[in-house]
Amino acid sequence: MDQIIVQGNGPLQGEIPIAGAKNACLTLMPATLLTDQPLTLTNAPRLSDIRTMTALLQSLGAEVAPLQDGQVLALSSHALTSHRADYDIVRKMRASILVLGPMLARDGRAEVSLPGGCAIGARPVDLHLKALEAMGAELDLRDGYVFARAPSGRLRGAVVDFPIVSVGATENALLAATLAKGTTVLKNAAREPEIVDLAQCLRRMGAQIEGEGTGTITIQGVDTLNGATHPVVTDRIELGTYMLAPAICGGEVECLGGRIDLLSAFCEKLDEAGISVEETPRGLKVSRKNGRVRAVNVTTEPFPGFPTDLQAQFMALMCVAEGTSVLEETIFENRFMHAPELTRMGARIEVHGGHATVTGVEKLRGAPVMATDLRASVSLILAGLAAEGQTTVSRVYHLDRGYEHVVRKLRGVGARIERIKEE
């Protein structure tokens, strides 16, 4: 098992290319199940989660061929050989549930194992299932699987009013509704850029969709979809993570491909903390305005609010800020598991339920720490960059699910970091 070694660092300088969005790509890939024609995705990230989704689609009979060092994915589902998504693959990643809607919409049946993923909360799939039930699906949950069928062989349009905003449920319902008979209206729909990206791809495939990026999405079902070529949107979570590197270390880093509209609430908090974010023709340039970072309060919210997937990384910054900040997590329970590890590095953090109070210290100390999930792992790397001495991060396999070439990208701007095999 690998470890990442981080030495306390001075100011960073240079540029970091930002990859295509993992969460967008994992949503776009199942769209191949809706058509028998080829779907090509460009700007795809090279991550273990993408390989897991590839294996899942291939197990159903889809063809998936990485091209150009993996940044282009050629997908084709001209002849599905199975409608069963097995536990052995699905358990690795909760996004696997996104094959349910497309298979049900195309062929009127599907068997999908209940998914796994990071241990940061229950993340139930009940909203996915209720949306599909509203569209006429008959569901049977047994033996850890969802057995789904459309009695007439085709889903029907419906009004789906989500009781809470759910990105995954919005995506599954949107995928399924493209081939449903009639009109589907998704109310209280998620607004994330990944939803907008999916709608744009589906529209290229011939879907009739309006309202993506708002709380109400309307889909007029069509009989068939065609193939298309679509570029994956920039990964806003990788973008925000690397924007925090010069914020915590000092210096100036340009994040290539970055856009403020992907992270407006996050950028507002950076400005409040004393971090400059400047739009350039190539992306976003980030630097400290002057002196020590100021403590600011943060509450995670669905888009366009502050992303839960940047809460851990922002906490690392607040650990060395001047003053006391309160971070409130409203999206997932159990998402402060990185706090005890940061405390090992000298951070002053008190966690009470969904709130974490962070009192900034002038300097963190390097220490052996353990990653508990994807975003926690990179928060410990950021903290290590701001610490005196050496930080050793174990269980870094989480990183490979969401960050491509993290060591290479940080070393490219002057960070002292390496990945080694654990003895």
Q: Which residues are catalytic?
A: 118
Cα 251–chain centre separation? 27
- Identify the residue whose tokens are 């460009």: 42
Cα 236–chain centre separation? 8
149 appears as a binding residue in the annotation: no
Q: Are the C-beta atoms of 263 and 233 separated by less than 8 Å?
A: no
23 appears as a binding residue in the annotation: yes
309 appears as a binding residue in the annotation: yes
- 80-96: b (≥16 Cβ within 10 Å) or e: eeebebbbebbbbbbbb
Q: Please state, in angstroms and rounded to a whole number, the distance separating the CA atoms of residues 103 and 109.
A: 6
381 appears as a binding residue in the annotation: no
Degrees, nearest 5: CA angle 40-41-44: 150
126 appears as a binding residue in the annotation: yes
Nearest residue to 80 (alpha-carbon basis) of 50, 104, 51: 104
Q: How many helices (H) and strands (E) does the chain have?
A: 13, 26
73 appears as a binding residue in the annotation: no
Helix (H) or strand (E) holding 265, with range, is: helix 264-273
Nearest residue to 194 (alpha-carbon basis) of 21, 17, 311, 374: 21
Q: Are the C-beta atoms of 386 and 9 separated by less than 8 Å?
A: yes
- State the DSSP string of 35-80: -SS-EEEES----HHHHHHHHHHHHTT-EEEEETTTTEEEEE-SS-
Report CA Rg, the chain: 22
Nearest residue to 64 (alpha-carbon basis) of 83, 85, 82, 78: 78
Assigned token pair, 160: 């789906």
Q: Are the C-beta atoms of 112 and 60 separated by less than 8 Å?
A: no
Q: Are the C-beta atoms of 138 and 148 separated by less than 8 Å?
A: yes
174 appears as a binding residue in the annotation: no
Assigned token pair, 43: 């700007």
List binding-site positions for phosphoenolpyruvate: 22-23
List binding-site positions for UDP-N-acetyl-alpha-D-glucosamine: 94, 123-127, 309, 331
List binding-site positions: 22-23, 94, 123-127, 309, 331
